[in-house]
Chains A and B, each alone.
Chain A
Amino acid sequence: NAGVTQTPKFQVLKTGQSMTLQCAQDMNHEYMSWYRQDPGMGLRLIHYSVGAGITDQGEVPNGYNVSRSTTEDFPLRLLSAAPSQTSVYFCASKGSGGAIDTQYFGPGTRLTVL
C-alpha cells in the first residue's frame, strides 16, 4: 500500500492563478480531509468528506473547493490564489468503524503564492 499520496510536493503560484492539489489513498478509507499548517497555528481543517459524493466545510473553507467523485481521490482546488494561502497542505484519511480513530497523513504540499 502507498497509503496517502499528494502531488505536487512543492508549488509556486502567482496571485490570481488557480490550481488543484491532488490527494489519493489506496486504503479504501471513507473519511478524507484537507488541512493547512501555518506557523503557530497548528493544523486547521479546510474541508472534509465522509464518503464519495459527500463533502463538508471545516474551519477555514474560504477560497477552496473540493469534490469527492471516488473513494480514492479528494482533490483540493484553489480558485484564485492569494498570498494568504501560502502554507503547507496536508491530506489525511481514516477508515470508518473500529475502535481506533487513526488518521493517516500524506507527505504534504508546500505552496507559495507570490
Chain B
Amino acid sequence: GQQVMQIPQYQHVQEGEDFTTYCNSSTTLSNIQWYKQRPGGHPVFLIQLVKSGEVKKQKRLTFQFGEAKKNSSLHITATQTTDVGTYFCAGRRATNKLIFGTGTLLAVQP
C-alpha cells in the first residue's frame, strides 16, 4: 500500500494566502524530493532534501526535511495563480525505489 502519505489532499486558497502541504513516510528516507504537476501536465522536479533537519528556499517556497528523515513539508508564502497544480513529495528509500506521496491539489482563487 501507499507508504508515503500527504495531507491535505486538496486545498483551496485565496490569492495571497499561504499554503502548506505535509508528507509523512512510514520508513526513514535517504532523501526526499518535491515535484509540481500542472493540470494536464507531467511532474516537474522542484527540489531535493538530503540532510536531517534541512531547510531550503526557492523564492516563495520553503521546503523542510524532518529530523528523523521521515517527514517533510512545503510551504508557499503569498500564493499566486501560477502556483496552481498538484504538489507531490517523493521519498527515496534504501532499496533505491522512489515512492511518491498521494499529492496535494492546490487551487488558488484570484
Please report A residues at the B interface, Cβ cutoff 8 Å.
Answer: 33, 35, 40-45, 48, 50, 58-59, 90, 92, 99-108
Tell me which residues across on chain B come within 8 A of A106, comparing CB atoms: 42
A105–B101 CA distance with the chains assembled, in angstroms: 16
Is B68 at the interface (CB under 8 A from chain A)? Answer: no
**Are B42 and A33 interface neighbours, CB within 8 A?**
no
**Closest partner residue, chain A, to B88 (CB atom):** A42
B33 to chain A, nearest CB (A): 6
Our pick among A44, A50, A107 for the contact of B42 (Cβ within 8 Å) is A107
Which bucket holds chain B's interface residue count?
Answer: 20 to 34
Our pick among B42, B92, B97, B102 for the contact of A42 (Cβ within 8 Å) is B102
3 tightest A-B CB contacts, nearest first: A43-B100, A42-B102, A105-B42
Q: Which of B11-49 contact A (CB under 8 A)?
A: 31, 33, 35, 41-45, 48
A44–B98 CA distance with the chains assembled, in angstroms: 9
Our pick among B31, B44, B97 for the contact of A58 (Cβ within 8 Å) is B97
A42–B1 CA distance with the chains assembled, in angstroms: 12
Our pick among B35, B48, B97 for the contact of A45 (Cβ within 8 Å) is B97
A50–B88 CA distance with the chains assembled, in angstroms: 23
